Structure 1
């Protein structure tokens, strides 16, 4: 089966209707319900214009698919889905979810971001957060949506209190932070550290409730944590035509980092499970 045998192109899974409510696209739902194999679901979230769609196209092993944009406006709206045969796990399907950029100034309702984030958490088995520069307090504040999960998600219909941490770890996805345009040396206290160590150092709690809250939520709600850093792919002029560039035209470090990112999810990406370790397929309810 070819990589594009399931879907030749992505389709919109979740969109806003005329009343600005999020609704399921029936065409996408029909595609999902036709899939009987277990699903490895990777969703990516983050601010708009930070290169989320490019990473998802890499996972689909295609240059084009999820649309890339070189202008200031957000390209992706709602949540878009692309289902392809898993490249390594025979009998599994890789479901890629590209989400609307957070913080788009053209949005009429900021609550839409919170719901997009919540849906990405609930639908995925592997959640990727994409940001630029470094993991600093400003980047952490972009993740304030994680602190609102307790207000918006109930794992049981009868549940009245906040989320149970153990239940979250069983149901919620893994968490991966991708830091784009990263230019720093991974040195801490005079010693070279790994990307994963960089993430865990950044997630350490300090004095001050407001400072700690997003860090505590990331550590408590998600069962595993991974980090990838990426060099700038190419010059600003070339970036406007990124989807048409060959690997030879990209920064070699970026190419190697992108390959490492894809290899990790191909080999270690979690299957979407229901409580009780029941593997989810497109027909699961």
Structure 2
């Protein structure tokens, strides 16, 4: 029984301790304002970068449409960057970024504070009140086991994504500190272009101008101000001896100035003589000047960051929200790690211009194909492609590009692909239209050259010309026109040759039939021995001449019947009849009228001879064309 009561007491004690621990954890969670989360991590060989999804999720959780600004602190190894960030955030060391012995395990790569801060209430009126500001701590350079390329990548990353960059330096600005920013030379090569309207003759073509703080900690110098010291350090120094190291340093100075950053020099007094106890001391125990300087610095950085949310020209200078900035960070990290230095800067340009390439290539395709009218003549299509290319390259890309390295190779490739596709599409449309038009004209040729109809050279030529002008010239355009036009012309010549053979044979048979009919007509209806004889003689010659052509050609060199002048006039007469329907109908009507009148005349004359008075009266009426005054008088 006693043992069971003992176990019961232990269970009650454990439950009470659990409740107390839960309340403590809840209280700590309620008072905790955030935590550092890794944003970018180094690779295993510590030479490249890789994005961490946990840090990106911090930005993605930011409300949609709310501008986001990043403040990054860079500087040498163990220069007090993490402690500075904790002071800027207003959090103790044990809750903020790792300081001291914790730095070795935490500050590898870049870390972001999980909670955003806002500008102070008395911030600059130009600041956007909705802008959320995040702080980033970066791994210091010159640490053991790392290459210089890793430092360049890390600091280039901070410069690419941050609106405010704080360069934390001990004591003063030295030439070595400036050389640590040599990555700016590669950035300047890609992102800075000449500007005739600017006083410095340079303009940023990628990153919008941000702010670079040159923060000198433990500042004890007298005389010139920190800002004057920074301006002097960034000014180009004379190099009369063409010293190689000094020339390289001057290049870095020029690059830093040309990137468009606003360089601000600020100083901080040493907070306390015992640096190992800084995290344990309160503001009352720190140097009062340091506390005042830190308060002003915190206010200034937050105000500038809130008024400068990240913007990019390729996004039409719109402020980026958390999701857009997370995507930008992924792309920058990938671009910085894809290639070896110094080509990473060009790769970074390609990464930033990824969407712009798609937009401009789509604009090229829309301008070429959107106007329609396919198929087009080759010169017209090439002119349209050239105009669309100018629009895509100059109006779309070069005016909004990120960087200054000229036209993107990817854009050139995409534009050339679209241009080739348009040419192929134009050729297919041209082939389709020309084949359909040529087929219609070929059918017209077959119809006009059919043996079953009255053949006519003039009608054939007029029909083909009409088909060419109304069908082929309208439907057949583009690069395949010349090929199909040549093929159709060859078909026309062959068809016309066959037409001439059938035409001459048909005209010969019809002429022979007409002469025989004329002979019979003049024999039976219109008695004229002269016309009848001429008709029979002409028919005989017309029938016999073609059969004797071979013999005559071999003996006396006589031409073919179809080459004689006689046949030429026969052909012309037939063409006049065949090509003019009115003339044809008129001649047929006159011929029928004469034939009918002569036939009736002969019939009535015979009737008058055999039928007495009535026949003689009808014969007289038909002959004189008028009715007699009286029957008796007529008789």
Asked if 1:277 is matched to 2:313, the reply is no
**TM-superposition CA deviations, 1:217-263 (whole Å, max 9, x none):** 1111133111111121211xx31132221112212222122112111
Asked if 1:195 is matched to 2:231, the reply is no
Structure 2 counterpart of 1:220: 258
Structure with more helix by fraction: 2
Q: Tell whether the 8 Å contact from 2:98 to 2:107 is kept in structure 1 after alignment.
A: yes
Asked if 1:96 is matched to 2:150, the reply is no
Structure 1 counterpart of 2:281: 245
Taking the aligned partners of 2:215 and 2:250, their CA distance within structure 1 comes to 20
Q: Tell whether the 8 Å contact from 1:114 to 1:148 is kept in structure 2 after alignment.
A: no
Give the deviation of 1:130 after TM superposition: 1.0
**In angstroms, what is the RMSD of aligned CA positions?**
2.6
Taking the aligned partners of 1:26 and 1:274, their CA distance within structure 2 comes to 23
Give the deviation of 1:198 after TM superposition: 2.9
**TM-superposition CA deviations, 1:125-167 (whole Å, max 9, x none):** 111111111123233233333234357xx56xxxxxxx43523
Asked if 1:130 is matched to 2:159, the reply is no
**Quick one: which of 48, 56, 59 aligns to 1:32?**
59
**RCO higher in 1 or 2 (8 Å CA, sep ≥ 6)?**
1
Give the deviation of 1:195 after TM superposition: 3.0
Taking the aligned partners of 2:118 and 2:181, their CA distance within structure 1 comes to 29
Q: Secondary structure at the match of 2:78?
A: coil
Number of corresponding residues:
264
Q: Tell whether the 8 Å contact from 2:212 to 2:262 is kept in structure 1 after alignment.
A: yes
Give the deviation of 1:70 after TM superposition: 5.6
**Change over 3 Å in CA distance of 1:66–1:80 after alignment to 2:** same
Structure 2 counterpart of 1:53: 82
**Quick one: which of 4, 10, 18 aligns to 2:44?**
18
Q: How does 1:47-196 map to 2 (within 5 A)?
A: 47-64=76-93, 65-69=96-100, 76-82=107-113, 83-88=115-120, 90-107=129-146, 109-150=147-188, 163-164=192-193, 165-168=202-205, 170-187=207-224, 194-196=225-227
Q: Tell whether the 8 Å contact from 1:48 to 1:103 is kept in structure 2 after alignment.
A: yes
**Change over 3 Å in CA distance of 1:72–1:52 after alignment to 2:** closer
Stretches of structure 2 lacking an aligned partner (at least 5 in a row):
1-29, 121-127, 194-201, 240-246, 328-635
Q: Tell whether the 8 Å contact from 2:152 to 2:181 is kept in structure 1 after alignment.
A: no
Give the deviation of 1:7 after TM superposition: 6.5
Q: Tell whether the 8 Å contact from 2:203 to 2:260 is kept in structure 1 after alignment.
A: no
**Change over 3 Å in CA distance of 1:62–1:142 after alignment to 2:** same
Taking the aligned partners of 2:262 and 2:39, their CA distance within structure 1 comes to 26
Q: Please report the TM-score for the alignment, with normalisation by the length of structure 1.
A: 0.83
Give the deviation of 1:168 after TM superposition: 4.6
Q: Please report the TM-score for the alignment, with normalisation by the length of structure 2.
A: 0.39
Taking the aligned partners of 1:75 and 1:278, their CA distance within structure 2 comes to 34
